[in-house]
Structure 1
Amino acid sequence: MVRWHVWIKEHEFLGKKGTSQDGFRDLLRASPTPKAVTGRNLSSEDLSKSSLQGRYEISRYAPVCLWEEDFSEVKQAFDDLRNRGIRDFRRHFEKHPEEILSFAGKVKINDVNEYTLELYQAKTKEDLLKGLEIVFSKQSYEVFKEELIALADGKTRFMSEAVNRTLNGEQIHILLSLAVPPGYKESLSRVIVCITDISAKQRKARELERIGEKYRKIFQNAIDAMFVADTETGIIMEANESAGKLLGMSTIQMVGMHFTEFHPKEEREAYRSIFEKHASRGRSLSDNLLVCQRNGRKIPVLFSSSIISLDGRNYIVGMFRRVLSPDHAQRHARAGKSLVTERKVSSHAKERLSGREREVLTLIAGGMSNRQMAEILCISEKTVETHRTRVMNKLNLHKTADLVRYAIASGFVS
């Protein structure tokens, strides 16, 4: 039967040869003997019986799966191959993969504990043994091959992760550890396998990976230029494709550069001071800045940033949005037949907008949803909606389309 063992050092149950016929009694024979029980002195015979019974119960009802298996026929098959001149077992099994199934059929499962039955949703040991074809899938071949190679090479430990199924078909992620007890290395007639259920851990890892991928896609596909810089060094750690288009270079070229290299030479010290002040205060920042392309062309941008902390280090996440020149803004306003004039927006409305409200207006004009804006600005969706409402009230505009036209006419976006 195809098996997939994963082996964990934290659970090493190494027994010794003895007269007990119960594998789990023998398995725990090496446990320390208590010096006293219930506060009274006991005879050596009483201590022996008490200790043996206690170790047996710990093994039988331990909250971890324990399997006792017999690999003696596997050992004999190893010897037969050696007699045929086989020394490289990895090469042999890769050349003859069909033998892996044959070797799996030589493994005998002598006993399992109660938790094993519970994990695999088996009522009895017999039910579990009959359903091993469900428990171990085709994926088990590769891991079982590695197990065989380890044992053939004389190793007494092996560790791996695997995916099994319960008898009801439920998928479980497991960590198994194999140990050959002292005195059984030559015969392999006793092998102890410990299985730990790590399904919850795997689900959490997958969820974190999914969330990470989600935010990476938002970052990489944002219409605005975005950067991540180390607050201590000022070195650019990440940059998206829009940043490359804005500055006229690839993202690979930008990573590793100092942030001041993106600004005009004559103003770099001023920008360095702004950066250091922002990093020390740890607050969000919004301002109008100039960035410089590789050909020396200066581009006005609306800059906004926030401080984030990852793995004990602080980073600045900055967003640059290109600002149109007044001539371009006027042409776009006429082409779009802007409703700004019809609404008689106050000439001072733009000045009345706060820095955060300008950021929100810019992102709205860029087609961002409330959720996307919340993720970029590191605020809640409710707060985004509050800023949106305030912008509309201050500008006397009541539709998103009107906000977009206003943003274009005012030079916020192209």
Structure 2
Amino acid sequence: MKNMQRQGGFSLVELMVSIVIGLLAVIFATRLMTDGEKTKDAALGGSDSMQNGMLAMFQISGDAEYAGFGLNEPLIVGCDTYMEDSEDYQLAPAQRGGVAIRPLAAAVIENGGAGPDRLSLYAGTSPTGTGIVRLQQDYIGGTQLTIDRRPYGFARGDAILVAPEKKGGRCSLAQVSNDLDALAPPPSSQYLMIGGAGNRFNSGALAGAYKGEATRIFNLGPAASLALRTWSIERGYLRLRATDLAGASEASQPVADNIVSLKAQYGLDTRAGAAFTPEQGLRVSAWSSTMLDADNNGTAGSAGDYQRIAALRIAVVARARNPERPNPATGQCTATTVRPTVFATLGADNGNTAPVQVDVAVTGDAVDWRCYRYRVFETIVPLRNAGWRPTSS
């Protein structure tokens, strides 16, 4: 009888050990891939928020640096301004002693509390800075403004601001419609026409009567390039409404996505009496999310307060494009547990910090705000044009 040889192969124990080792390897590989995906998502999310935040801050701070050009005359800054725009842009609303106004200034902040602010930044574009003539005859209506001299520096299509020399009156924005080259030299009457079809800022009438010899007319530059801009946040998008961008006057246009908050603060020079010397430069002594009674005249939001804006502090909060997964054990997201705080550090001249904790939840987003990672961008922009204003009132 032939001896039976032992057959080759695995025993049951060996097979079970192999299966266990294989399962451990699969679990390890799965964990490694999951962690890798989480790391990648966090890295890509951080990259997205960095790019979007930098783009948003670059755009807004660029407007802030230019803000106030051609609008730094004391009779212009903070003037409650009447404007009719055929493309429906509106100046930002504000309060002055409990009364609603629409001031023309370098910057106007519509404070949103914990939510996003709306920041309006205005600038003229006159190549000569601000051309000025004086009203010679009383204006009580109509489309003709009789002025005291030939309007050098003015041209057909220029935007103009009619402002009373007595502060506190109401200004009017209009647009030149006549051919100034056809005007006869003095002593013939000089005039500006503001009526006529096809002009954007021409309503054909100003906001009330203006007294001759006590009213000035300022040239703000070609109406097509008049830079009246408003930045806002809507449903996670940074949006811009502007008079000098086609199609962006009536409705705001998206600029950057995954931007969840925009906050701004005035940097005000609150020095009193003889200590306030704007000809020698403005300086920040207080930061505020709302307009203060910076000139100590008893009324917050007066024209003098807007003339004391020395700088703006701006913050943009960007979020990652993709949310992170909730904790499997609790079902809660922990990517961010505390809402971001902006303006928590001292600014120029060691002014007050005035920190603000912002609400980063996006309206209509079903995902909890805690599932996203956020990045805060802050900057301080000196309003350089505020320091170049004329010294005369």
TM range (shorter): under 0.3
Q: Greater RCO between the two (CA within 8 Å, min separation 6)?
A: 2
Give the greater-gyration-radius structure (CA): 1
Give the structure with the higher percent strand.
2
Give the structure with the higher percent helix.
1
